[in-house]
Amino acid sequence: MDAKEIAKYLLRKINENIESGVQEEQLEEFVKILIEAYKNKKIIGVVGAGRSGLVAKSFAMRLMHLGFNVFVIGETITPSLKSGDVLLAVSGSGETTFTVSAASVAKRIGAKVISLTSYPNSRLGELSDVKVVVPGRVAKASDDDYFSRQLLGIHEPLAPLGTLFELSTGVLLDAVVVELMEVLNIKERDMMEKHATIE
């Protein structure tokens, strides 16, 4: 298959993942927690490793544009989470060491943990108050620590493992942004005021 055919295949699989794999009630609970955090000025921390981390950071950027008090876990300016704050953790396998560790600490201090994962019974899933199951991760990586795999030069194939999860999660989170805009009555012009001006 050439790149165009692969892209069409991926689009079909993303549609299938979201259409038949994501449960509406999980999404509703996720959005409800975000709205409560917004109204109560709670901190939302996002965490993920590798491409899942990039998806999480992309969502954090949009939440910032919406006026949420949001930070990326591991960055130098990120404040500590407290009881009642929210941690959003993105991990296809639900076993990535850094992400699971962050969720464990958040749970211990009384923050609400939301996970987006393909494996609801994973360690991350067990720590979560709300699990949004996003299909696409067809197999767990052999080594559960993303950073260890990178240091050892172990890279995963394109579509079979994490790619469909990451793409599906990115689309789903962008849809959540639009829902938040509608619920909170935030217009694109309002978001533009927070958009980067130094480029």
Q: Is the pLDDT of residue 194 over 90?
A: no
- Does residue 199 belong to any structural domain of this protein? no
- Does residue 25 belong to any structural domain of this protein? yes
Determine whether 24 is an active site residue: no
Query: If pLDDT is split at 50, 70 and 90, which confidence band does 185 have?
Result: very high
44-72 pLDDT tens trace: 999 999 999 999 999 999 999 999 999 99
Residue 107: C-alpha distances to residues 79, 127, 199 (Å) = 16, 7, 37
Query: What does pLDDT average to over the chain?
Result: 88
Single pTM value for the model: 0.86
Q: With beta carbons less than 8 A apart as the criterion, state whether 150 and 181 touch.
A: no
- Does residue 111 belong to any structural domain of this protein? yes
Q: With beta carbons less than 8 A apart as the criterion, state whether 117 and 131 touch.
A: yes
Question: What is the arithmetic mean of pLDDT over 92-118?
Answer: 96
pLDDT at 137: 67
pLDDT at 145: 57
150-168 pLDDT tens trace: 555 544 444 454 688 999 9
pLDDT at 158: 44
Q: With beta carbons less than 8 A apart as the criterion, state whether 91 and 124 touch.
A: yes
pLDDT at 184: 95
- Does residue 190 belong to any structural domain of this protein? no
Query: If pLDDT is split at 50, 70 and 90, which confidence band does 149 have?
Result: low
Q: Is the pLDDT of residue 17 over 90?
A: no
Assigned token pair, 107? 């749970």
Question: What is the arithmetic mean of pLDDT over 115-126?
Answer: 96
Q: Which tops the pLDDT comparison, 141 or 182?
A: 182
Q: Which residue has the tokens 């910032």?
A: 64
Full residue range of the structural domain in which residue 179 is found:
3-185
Question: What is the arithmetic mean of pLDDT over 97-108?
Answer: 97
Assigned token pair, 132? 């949004």
Active-site annotation holder among 24, 166, 188, 193: 166
pLDDT at 138: 56
- CATH value at residue 36: 3.40.50.10490
Total structural domains in the chain? 1
Question: What is the arithmetic mean of pLDDT over 110-134?
Answer: 97
Question: What is the arithmetic mean of pLDDT over 19-24?
Answer: 92
SS (H, E, C) the chain: CCHHHHHHHHHHHHHHHHHHHCCHHHHHHHHHHHHHHHHCCCEEEEEECHHHHHHHHHHHHHHHHHCCEEEECCCCCCCCCCCCCEEEEECCCCCCHHHHHHHHHHHHHCCEEEEEECCCCCHHHHHCCEEEECCCCCCCCCCCCHHHHHHCCCCCCCHHHHHHHHHHHHHHHHHHHHHHHHHCCCCHHHHHCCCCCCC
- Does residue 197 belong to any structural domain of this protein? no
Strands 86-90 and 69-72: unpaired
